[in-house]
Each structure stands twice: as structure tokens, then as C-alpha cells.
């Protein structure tokens, strides 16, 4: 449970980003908190890609959540992806983040936005697979 000023929210409520902007804000806030909490030395995000992480969380969180269906990302999300240092971002994806986001959706969103992550790249604990052979 997470307590805000006057409300208590379950983690499920926080992670379900619907069309209600406040819900999306909670998802962004929660993921940002995990990314920058400092509970794990590998989670400390340097200045080099901190802005990328914040932009990705703000614009793309709803497209990579495990609890939501796979969908094409928005133009705003793609704009952030286009500018992001994806290798740096991938280095800072932790197991806590992976509990919330679907790494296959992350790879799909990056590819959809024209910034595919190379096969063999490790993003968090996920290794990007090679594409299936063309018959």
C-alpha cells in the first residue's frame, strides 16, 4: 500500500494506467521512485541518462506496463525514445523495475519508434533475442 496526502492506494491501482491522467501520473511517480531510490548501487542513475529515464517514465510508462495490453506508443513517447541513450537506460533497469514493466514491450516500443535495441543487448536482466530466421 502507498499512502498519499489523503488516500491509500494498492500497488495494483498505482500500476494500472488508464485514460485518467492522474492514474498515469501515479505510475510515472512510482516507477521514478524505484529508479532513483538508491536502494541498490546499480540503480543510481548518473546525470548522463537521468533526463532520458525521467522522460521515458513520463511519456512511455503506459506502453510497457505488464498490467496493460501491448499497444503502439504515442508520438510523444517516440520523441523521447528518439533522443534517449538506450544503452545507458538499459544499464539502469533493475529487478524492481522489471516487476512492473514488460521488457518485451520495452523492446517493441523502441523498435516501433525507430530505435531498435540490437539483438544480444542486455537490458536489465533481459537479453534482446535475435529475430526469427526468414523462411
- Write the pLDDT tens digit of every residue in 13-63: 333 343 434 444 444 444 544 444 444 444 444 456 777 788 888 999 999
List of residues 6+ apart from 10 with CB closer than 8 A:
1, 2
> Do 106 and 96 form a contact (C-beta atoms < 8 A)?
no
Residue matched to cell numbers 534482446:
128
**Distance (Å, whole) CA 22 – CA 43:** 26
Q: Distance between CA atoms of 86 and 69, rounded to whole angstroms?
A: 23
CA distances (Å), origin 55, targets 44, 76, 135: 16, 10, 39
- Give per-residue burial for 5-22: e unless 16+ CB within 10 Å, then b: eeeeeeeeebbbbeeeee
pLDDT of residue 13: 37
Q: What is the pLDDT of residue 92?
A: 84
Report yes or no: 57 and 64 within 8 Å, Cβ to Cβ: no
Does the pLDDT at position 91 exceed 70?
A: yes
Tell me the average pLDDT across 86-95: 87
Please give the pLDDT value at position 80. 94
Amino acid at each position: 500500500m502507498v499512502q498519499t496526502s489523503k488516500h491509500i492506494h494498492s500497488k495494483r491501482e498505482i500500476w494500472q494506467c488508464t485514460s485518467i491522467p492522474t492514474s498515469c501520473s501515479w505510475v510515472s511517480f512510482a516507477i521514478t521512485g524505484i529508479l532513483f531510490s538508491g536502494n541498490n548501487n546499480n540503480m543510481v542513475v548518473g546525470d548522463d541518462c537521468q533526463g532520458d529515464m525521467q522522460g521515458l517514465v513520463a511519456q512511455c510508462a503506459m506502453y510497457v506496463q505488464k498490467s496493460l495490453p501491448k499497444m503502439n506508443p504515442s508520438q510523444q513517447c517516440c520523441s523521447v525514445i528518439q533522443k534517449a541513450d538506450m544503452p545507458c537506460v538499459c544499464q539502469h533497469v533493475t529487478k524492481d523495475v522489471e516487476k512492473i514493466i514488460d521488457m518485451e514491450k520495452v523492446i517493441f516500443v523502441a523498435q516501433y519508434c525507430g530505435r531498435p535495441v540490437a539483438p544480444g543487448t542486455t537490458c536489465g536482466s533481459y537479453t534482446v533475442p535475435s529475430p526469427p530466421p526468414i523462411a
